Structures are given as structure tokens and as C-alpha cells.
């Protein structure tokens, strides 16, 4: 009888203890199951009491085990935190879970704890995974929103106001500066709208260039044609075959030549010159140099009607002087230590024409001085610039385009699948950038960048999303955002030398002319969503960058298609004799395109 009473007391005390436990958990915000009496399954526990829920040892062990699981879960949740690294890539984080907006995370934690305590961990694992994925997506969106808030801000009142400036000009104040200030005014840039299109090409338009007076515009295309436009009347004045065998990458009027000489370069590596007559016809085209690899850019000397520079993917810079019997002379071979660096872009300093900058298949801007290039000393480089966070980057970032400002004091560089950076050329060798421009995407092609405004007040770039971005140079804020290409990529941007006019081109087969003709300033509709899309795609690609299989396969297929493509028949080809008179065409100082490997940027043909 005493034994039964003692046993009854034990059972009653145990039941009381188990009934009280869930109330305590509920006060703490958890939902532990209620157990009023032992179930049948409890009778199968070991009889020695070590795993018996009615003994103190078993209860302590289970409690510590559950606490340990809860602690591990809490630690896992704390490991997710919102952060952005120095490269500008954002990490998905969960610091906001502790704030008022984090209630969803706490509910998911409570649900997982209930499932484990009820023995449903296996059946609920799929739901938990889905919830975690949903949480990651929410964190991703939150990180993007924070990034956008830091990049897109309200701008203050512009310094120049049209009405006040017009009134001042009427009484003779500020008359000499009025055109410059008007062309560089934010109010005009924010009213850019497409004025018209120039249509005649049958391939992607890769190059645009205004003559010095701004009355003519030259365009070159994948169709191997060059067209001289009267852009104001939307009329093609002259169309001729370039003489190139592959995509025309650049065509430029030589300064002070009366618009009679046009320099061209192309994927075939040839540097050609076209002689134009006053009767609107092309007298001849002739080859003056040959790169062993594609030649993307030419650099004009502002005061010279007969000399210019070219850069190619063979790492060679040629100096071309049309007054000489043998026009081409090798100026330098771009190298990093002993490795040749294929070049995509070159530009002459407008204030010091003996200096020029190049960029290409690595992350460094190299500045040379033609008067003192000694390749045995620092490979002939005068200065090198690179964003600090890209110096040891494993992403193999390339420079697709660079350009000097109007006075040569600043240098702008666009990096593929990275941002645009501004450097001060007066700073010492290796100095950090002074400004960074974000929001666009530069991945699919060798994309251009440029200054806009008479005093380089703005930065303008195309994007893989098919839009044109204009940033205010000093604040790095986007002031204009326009859809510039239905084909999806804007590559070329050419500001008018005197007027507030911009010419652009890309994968579409036309040229678009933009002018400040809108009645009201732009509202940047769709900008934030497009910036988020570009950022997300860029970061996803950077995560997958370690797998080079896709890149190598694409590179192989492109080469295979290019080599098997039948030769295009060109009717009525104009041209003079093409004598291989330049020794540098066969010089061993130039490297074969085949040696460059699959990791460099390729400009897709149409």
C-alpha cells in the first residue's frame, strides 16, 4: 500500500512538471508539445532509467540536447548578415532579422523547432528548404535596395538656370560663357530625347565620329561600309566600301584635313586610309599598317592632319605618318613583366600630345611618353593606374575603353563586368581613382565610354541592357537614362563638338541622334529596376567565373565560325595598291592572336 502511494506521488509530480513546462515555453515565445501522461512508446525506453523521461538524468540529457540544437540554429541564423565587400559585390545577410521586419525569420525558427520536437523533421525538410530559399531571396532584394539607396539620391538645384542666364545675356552679362554653360547644363541633359535615326547600314554600327566643325558624321559597320552623313538633314552624303575584310571598328576624320582623309581600323588588323574628294566620292583606300590581331581603336593627334596612333590585340602600338613612304613605325609593345598585353583602346592626351594612354587585356591603364620610351626600364611605362581593389583581382578584368578629358587632367576607364573609374593624371604613379560610376553593365562587347559637355561635365556610357547612362561627373549621380538600342547593347557614344547633341549606336543597324527637345526633364522611369537587374546578373556571373568551360567553348565556337565563314564578295571595291611595305607587319615583336587565350573580351559580329 505504501509502495502504491509512493508510485502514485511520483506519477502525479511528473505529470505536474510536464504540464507546467509548456506554459513556461509559451511565455518565452516557444511552442513545446504538452504531455499529460506517458504514451505507449515510452514503455519501450531502457529499463535502467538512463533514457526514461520520468528520471532526472534522462530529462536533463534531453533538455541539454534540445538547447544545443537551438543554440546551433541560432548561430546559423546569426551567420547571415548584410554586408558589402570592397569589390562592390553584396553578400546576402540577415541583420535585419533582429529588427521589426524580421518577424518572418522568427516564425520560421519556431516552426522548425516544433517540427523537430514532434519528430516531423524528415517530412518538413522540403518545406524548410523552400522557406530558407524564400528568406535568401528576401535578403537579396533587401541588399539590392540598400545598394540602390546608396547610389541613387535626390539631386539639388542646378547651378545654371536657363531663364536667369537668358535675362543676364540680354543686358550683356556672361555672353562669352553662355554657349558653354548652356551645353553643359544639367537641365538640358535631363531633356535629352531621340531626335531621329540614320538608316542605311545592314550590320551593327561600331563607330561614330563627328568632323571638327560638327557638320558631318562618319559611321562604320559590320557590313564593311563607311557612310558620311549630313546628320542634321538625316541624309547619307557618301557611302563606300572600306576595303576591310572583317568588322569595321573605327573610322575617324583626321583633323585639319578638310574632311578629305579618313583613318580606319577593323577586326582584320588592317589600318587603312581613305582619300575623299570634294565631289562626294572616295578616290581610294589603302592599307598603311597591319596588326597581328584585331585593331579596335585609333588615337588622333589634335593638331596633326597626317599622323595618328593605332593599337591592336597583338599588344603593338603603331605610329602612322602619312608623309612617309613607309607610314607605320612601331612605338611600343605593351607588356606586364615579360607577358604581352593585348590592347583594346588608345587615346592621346589633348593637352600633351606626346603622351598617350592604352588599356586592354588586364586591369592597368598605362601612360607612355613618346619622347622617352625605354622598354628596358619599366617596359617604357611612364605611369600606371588601377583601382586598388582590382590590383590582385582573380576576375581577369579588362579595360574596354579609356578617354582623356577636354584638358587632359582626367582619364576615364571602363572595365568589363565592373564599373567606370575616373583618375587624375596629375597624380603620381599608382594613385587610386577619384570617382566611380555604377549602374550599367559592360560584358557582352568591347563597350565604349566618353565624356559629355564642353568641359567634360558628364560621363556617358552604353550598357548591355540597351540603355544609355549619363552621370554627373563630380557627384557620380545618374542624371539621364534612355533606351538606346532595341537589339540590347549600346556600344558607341559620340558627343557633338559644339552643340548639345549626342550620337549613339549598338547592335541595331542604325545611328540614333539625341538632343534636348523634351518639354520636361526625365523622370528616370525604370532606372532602379534596371540597375538591380544589371547588378544581380553581374554578381551571378562573378560567382560562376571560376568555371572557364563555358568561356572556352564560346571562344572555340566563335573562332570556328569565323574561320569557316565564306569570304564576302565586295562589288565595286575601291582601293589603291596594297603593298606590304611595312616591316612591322611581319615583325616578331607582334604576337599571334592565337596566343591570347580564351579569357579576353571578344567583340561579337553581327
Per-residue confidence band for 168, with pLDDT thresholds at 50, 70 and 90 = confident
E strand intervals along 405-461: 410-415, 420-424, 435-437, 449-452, 458-461
Per residue in 290-338, pLDDT (tens digit) is 999 999 999 999 999 999 999 999 999 999 999 999 999 999 999 998 8
| pLDDT recorded at residue 150 | 66
Chain-wide mean pLDDT for the chain? 76
- For 403-425, b/e burial (b = at least 16 CB within 10 A) is bbbeebebbbbbbbbbbbbbbbb
Q: pLDDT higher for 65 or 357?
A: 357
Cell triple for residue 160? 545654371
Mapped onto helix, strand or coil, the DSSP state of residue 282 is strand
Q: pLDDT tens-digit profile of 428-485?
A: 999 999 999 998 888 877 789 999 999 999 999 999 888 999 999 999 999 999 999 8
Domain range summary for the chain, segments of one domain joined by +? 190-534+571-586
Matching residue, cell 604613379: 429
- Strands in 41-172 per DSSP E: 83-84, 90-91
**pLDDT (tens digit per residue) in 81-92:** 334 444 444 333
Asked whether the beta carbons of 262 and 218 are under 8 A apart, the reply is: yes
Lowest mean pLDDT among 488-497, 500-509, 555-564: 555-564
Residues 203/219, Cβ–Cβ less than 8 Å? no
Q: Is residue 550 pLDDT above 80, yes or no?
A: no
Give the pLDDT confidence of 179-212 residue by residue, as tens digits: 888 888 999 999 999 999 999 999 999 999 999 9
Measured distance CA(480)–CA(497) in Å, rounded: 20
Confidence band for 100, pLDDT divided at 50, 70 and 90: very low
Range in 103-117, 179-193, 336-350, 568-582 the model is least confident about: 568-582
Most confident of 145-149, 401-405, 538-542: 401-405
Q: Which three cell numbers stand for residue 341?
A: 598585353
Regarding predicted confidence, which is higher, 525 or 80? 525
- DSSP lists the bridge partners of residue 458 as 452, 472
CATH number of 190-534+571-586: 2.130.10.10
Classify each residue of 267-302 as buried b or exposed e, where b means 16 or more C-beta atoms within 10 Å of its C-beta: bbbbbbbbbbeeeeebeebbbbbbbbbbbbbbbbbe
Q: In this structure, are residues 323 and 306 in contact, taking their beta carbons and an 8 Å threshold? A: yes
Q: Is the pLDDT of residue 569 over 50?
A: no
Measured distance CA(76)–CA(79) in Å, rounded: 5
Residues 245 and 264: beta-carbon distance below 8 Å? no
**Greatest mean pLDDT among 26-30, 108-112, 496-500, 586-590:** 496-500
pLDDT, mean of residues 229-252: 96
Please tell me the distance from the alpha carbon of residue 478 to that of residue 476, in angstroms, as a whole number.
7
Residue 350, pLDDT above cutoff 60: yes
Q: Do the Cβ atoms of 201 and 227 come closer than 8 Å?
A: yes
What's residue 129's pLDDT?
A: 58
Q: How confident is the model at residue 107 (pLDDT cuts 50, 70, 90)?
A: very low
Residue 98 scores a pLDDT above 50: no
- What's the pLDDT tens digit per position in 255-282? 999 999 999 999 999 999 999 987 788 9
Mean pLDDT is lowest, of 358-367, 500-509, 568-577, for: 568-577
pLDDT computed for residue 213 by the predictor? 94
Residue 555 has pLDDT above 50, yes or no: no
Amino acid at each position: 500500500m505504501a509502495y502504491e502511494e509512493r508510485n502514485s506521488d511520483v506519477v502525479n509530480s511528473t505529470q505536474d512538471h510536464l504540464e507546467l513546462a509548456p506554459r513556461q515555453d509559451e511565455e518565452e515565445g516557444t511552442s513545446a508539445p504538452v504531455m499529460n501522461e506517458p504514451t505507449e512508446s515510452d514503455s519501450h525506453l531502457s529499463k535502467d532509467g538512463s533514457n526514461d523521461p520520468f528520471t532526472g538524468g534522462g530529462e536533463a540529457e534531453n533538455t541539454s540536447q534540445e538547447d544545443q540544437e537551438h543554440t546551433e540554429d541560432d548561430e546559423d541564423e546569426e551567420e547571415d548578415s548584410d554586408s558589402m565587400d570592397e569589390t562592390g559585390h553584396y553578400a546576402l545577410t540577415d541583420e535585419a532579422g533582429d529588427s521589426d521586419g524580421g518577424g518572418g525569420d522568427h516564425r520560421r525558427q519556431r516552426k522548425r523547432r516544433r517540427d523537430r520536437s514532434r519528430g516531423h523533421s524528415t517530412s518538413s525538410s522540403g518545406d524548410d528548404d523552400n522557406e530558407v530559399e524564400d528568406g535568401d531571396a528576401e535578403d537579396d532584394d533587401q541588399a539590392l535596395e540598400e545598394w540602390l539607396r546608396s547610389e541613387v539620391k535626390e539631386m539639388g538645384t542646378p547651378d545654371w538656370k536657363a531663364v536667369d542666364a537668358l535675362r543676364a545675356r540680354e543686358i550683356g552679362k556672361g555672353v562669352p560663357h553662355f554657349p558653354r554653360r548652356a551645353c553643359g547644363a544639367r537641365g538640358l541633359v535631363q531633356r535629352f530625347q531621340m531626335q531621329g535615326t540614320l538608316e542605311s547600314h545592314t550590320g551593327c554600327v561600331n563607330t561614330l565620329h563627328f568632323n571638327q566643325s560638327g557638320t558631318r558624321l562618319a559611321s562604320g559597320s559590320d557590313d564593311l561600309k563607311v557612310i558620311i552623313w549630313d546628320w542634321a538633314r538625316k541624309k547619307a552624303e557618301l557611302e563606300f566600301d572600306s576595303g576591310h575584310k572583317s568588322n569595321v571598328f573605327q573610322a575617324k576624320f583626321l583633323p585639319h584635313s578638310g574632311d578629305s582623309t579618313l583613318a580606319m581600323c577593323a577586326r582584320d588588323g588592317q589600318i587603312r586610309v581613305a582619300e575623299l574628294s570634294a565631289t562626294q566620292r572616295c578616290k581610294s583606300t589603302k592599307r598603311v599598317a597591319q596588326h597581328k590581331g584585331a585593331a579596335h581603336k585609333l588615337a588622333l593627334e589634335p593638331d596633326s592632319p597626317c599622323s595618328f596612333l593605332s593599337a591592336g590585340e597583338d599588344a603593338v602600338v603603331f605610329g602612322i605618318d602619312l608623309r612617309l613612304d613607309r607610314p607605320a613605325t612601331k612605338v611600343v609593345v605593351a607588356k606586364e613583366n615579360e607577358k604581352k598585353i593585348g590592347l583594346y583602346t588608345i587615346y592621346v592626351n589633348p593637352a600633351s600630345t606626346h603622351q598617350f594612354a592604352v588599356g586592354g587585356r588586364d586591369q592597368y591603364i598605362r601612360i607612355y611618353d613618346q619622347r622617352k620610351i625605354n622598354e628596358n626600364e619599366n617596359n617604357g611605362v611612364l605611369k600606371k593606374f588601377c583601382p586598388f581593389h582590382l590590383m590582385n583581382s582573380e576576375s581577369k578584368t579588362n579595360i574596354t575603353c579609356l578617354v582623356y578629358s577636354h584638358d587632359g587632367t582626367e582619364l576615364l576607364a571602363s572595365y568589363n563586368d565592373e564599373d567606370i573609374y575616373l583618375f587624375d593624371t596629375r597624380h603620381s604613379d599608382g594613385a587610386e581613382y577619384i570617382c566611380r560610376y555604377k549602374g550599367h553593365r559592360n560584358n557582352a562587347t568591347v563597350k565604349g565610354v566618353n565624356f559629355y559637355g564642353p568641359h567634360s561635365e558628364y560621363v556617358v556610357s552604353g550598357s548591355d541592357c540597351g540603355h544609355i547612362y549619363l552621370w554627373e561627373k563630380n557627384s557620380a549621380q545618374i542624371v539621364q537614362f534612355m533606351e538606346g538600342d532595341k537589339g540590347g547593347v549600346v556600344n558607341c557614344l559620340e558627343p557633338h563638338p559644339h552643340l548639345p547633341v549626342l550620337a549613339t549606336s549598338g547592335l541595331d543597324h542604325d545611328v540614333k541622334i539625341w538632343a534636348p527637345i523634351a518639354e520636361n526633364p526625365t523622370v528616370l522611369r525604370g532606372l532602379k529596376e534596371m540597375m538591380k537587374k544589371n547588378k544581380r546578373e553581374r554578381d551571378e556571373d562573378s560567382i560562376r567565373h571560376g568555371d572557364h568551360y563555358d568561356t572556352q567553348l564560346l571562344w572555340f565556337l566563335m573562332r570556328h565560325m569565323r574561320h569557316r565563314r565564306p569570304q564576302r564578295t565586295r562589288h565595286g571595291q575601291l582601293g589603291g595598291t596594297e603593298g606590304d611595305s611595312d616591316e612591322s607587319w611581319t615583325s616578331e615583336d607582334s604576337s599571334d592572336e592565337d596566343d591570347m587565350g580564351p579569357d579576353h573580351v571578344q567583340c561579337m559580329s553581327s
